[in-house]
Amino acid sequence: MTAIYERELDSQLNGLTGYVFGALMLLFGGIYVMAIHLEGAVDFTTVLASLTFIYLIGIPLLTMRSVAEERHQRTDQLLYSLPLSMTKIVLGKYFALVTVLAMPLAVICLYPLIVNALATSGAIPLKAAYGAMVGFLFLGMALTAVGLFISSLMESVGLAAGACFLVMLLLYFLTPLTSYISSSALTSFIAFTVLAALLGVILWRMTKNGAFALVFAGVLEGALGVCYALFRGKFGGLFADVVGQLAVFDRFDSFTYDIFDIRSLVYYVSVTAVFLFLTVQSMERRRWAS
Amino acid sequence: MIEVSHLTKRYGSRTAVEDLTFTVESGVVYGFLGPNGAGKSTTMNILTGCLAATEGRVSIDGFDIFEQPIRAKARVGYLPEQPPLYMGMTVREYLAFVARAKGVKIPALDKELERVTAVTGVGEVADRLIRNLSKGFRQRVGIAQALLADPPVIILDEPTVGLDPLQIVEIRELIRSLGRDHTVILSTHILSEVQTVCDRVLMIHRGRLVASGTLASLEEQFAGKVTYHITVKAGLLEAREALEAVPGVLEVTAGETGADRCTLAVSVSDPGEDMDERLSFALSDRRIPVLRLEREQASLEDVFLALTQEADQQNAGKAGKGGRRHDGDL
């Protein structure tokens, strides 16, 4: 695992993307800190809340090459033939990406101290600032796992970057988007029905087993129908709620209210674990149909 | 060392490898021979754990590649058809990475790198970027990578493709020298490569094993089919009559016919040494001058062509009876 980690880190630091990510983060971090504190406010958490926007571009940049490039260069065959488990390979890559992610954040950690040293009136509450910093890092880690997974699905780096950017964009604007979803029970039911059918299709594409996918989707649809018949009242607004749960970016908001939100951290760790697991599965699947 | 039993790989409805069973003994250089698209790379990818099989078992040194992949893979060094090289690394960095990933500990790393670079002769380019290397050196780096951590089995997928003649000779010498203390399987569609490098042959056609054994045994199987090419200064009828009278001659076919000379192909059932003499005496008895008399032994090429045609005919026969077959040709 260390070998994979070191190589991935090396390739990130020898390429441009790691530096572009760091530069973006530091540049906008600097601008936001200056802008907000020039107005006389002493609030570091809003700086970080604004900076989450940089993840929209930063995460695709950081993760696009991780697996897609290996596939493109055919070096993935080496990874498959090495006496290492796929989990170790994926974790090695992931931690290398997190290291690159954490580098500019470590520099940003100095900003509150600098502001406090120079400030003539008021000081940034450091506890809240560093609590939010932890939340910011965990958000980045969760998004990195999502980006790694997307990269593992793609053959080309450009495609991986594009797809990742779209997903980040969707996640970023998910909450405003959910407000457009009608909250009637029927809409929720239809949305879930379509989702179950889609899951069936994805399963069919992945396993190439039509009968299995059909049974799976059928059972799911049946269960949905029964649930709808029994608890119609509960379906009102349920789809919007479920989609709202996926709003990764919004989980950061509680940190801006000076709350060190353990639940958000657990949420980020869960998202990370799920997507790392999916990445391993997507890499393993290549073994079956390359 | 390697046991493959009833290995089958299907891609959807297309069968790339079908019911492949063979055993590889240790310390022998095997040539995995077959035309392009016969399923060589697929088989090698399965043997090295890069690809899952639809059916069948592969065990390497007693470890099942699907059930104990880590232990099985630790015993195999693999050079895929396209060497998996990181272009942005130097040779030394790349080999150090692979060695570490294969579990070579840091104290032993320098020694291991030294050993492998010495064997493959990549020492002089150790500090150059792989991107800037020639194809021959890239291939060597690929082989060096396979040798790291000293696995007992080395699997090389078409290691000489795309190299210039000098590089081909060098790589073949390298493979021969590896054969002294490793089990080597190399795939190729070049027959002469098998003849110069390998001890044993596994012939594969359309995903099926059509023949296996030592070179000598394969040629012997077809030794009955000895053909003489004879050019005489005489009329065709006269020469044919003389040759057909010789005991042991199966068939005389006419080749080129000139103004005063003709060429005949004579297939004989008894390939004994005195056949040369009997044929030439038969002609000289009738005062027919022999201009050329050449004995043609079935070569590996003939064996290969004969086997693949046989397999094709069988396939065609089965298809004709209504049983549709999917074969592994691309």
B34 secondary structure, DSSP code: -
CB contact under 8 A, A3 and B12: no
In order along its 330 residues, chain B shows pLDDT tens digits of 899 999 999 887 888 898 999 999 888 999 998 888 888 999 999 999 999 898 999 999 999 999 999 999 999 999 998 999 999 899 999 999 999 999 999 999 999 999 999 988 898 999 999 999 998 899 999 999 999 999 999 999 998 887 888 888 888 888 988 888 899 999 988 878 888 888 898 988 888 888 888 877 777 666 556 778 888 888 888 888 888 888 878 888 887 777 788 888 888 776 667 778 888 888 888 888 888 888 776 666 777 777 777 767 776 655 444 333 343 333
Which of B50, B76, B93 is the closest to A77 by Cβ? Answer: B50
Chain A nearest-CA distance from B80, in A, is: 7
CATH topology of domain B2-221: Rossmann fold (3.40.50)
Smallest CA-to-CA distance from A7 within A135, A96, A101, A87 is with A96
Q: Is the ipTM of this complex over 0.95?
A: no
Smallest CA-to-CA distance from A56 within A140, A137, A169, A151 is with A169
User: Residue ranges of the domains in chain B?
Assistant: 2-221, 226-296
pLDDT in tens, B245-293: 888 788 888 877 777 888 888 887 766 677 788 888 888 888 888 888 8
pLDDT in tens, A236-245: 778 888 888 8
- DSSP-based three-state secondary structure for B298: coil
Q: Is A6 on the interface with B (CB under 8 A)?
A: yes
Which of A6, A73, A83 is the closest to B102 by Cβ? Answer: A83
CB contact under 8 A, B100 and A6: yes
Angle (nearest 5°) at CA B144 between B178 and B192: 50
Separation CA B160–CA B157 (nearest Å): 9
Chain A nearest-CA distance from B128, in A, is: 15
Q: B183: which strand partners?
A: B153
Place of tokens 């990874």: A79
Interface contacts (A, B; CB < 8 Å): 74
Sheet holding B249-257, edge to edge: B249-257, B262-268, B226-232, B290-296
Residue to test with chain B: of A5, A9, A70, A77, most B Cβ within 10 A:
A77
CB contact under 8 A, B73 and A76: no
CB contact under 8 A, A290 and B45: yes
CATH number for the region B226-296 comes to: 3.30.70.250
Residue in chain B nearest A6 by alpha carbon: B97
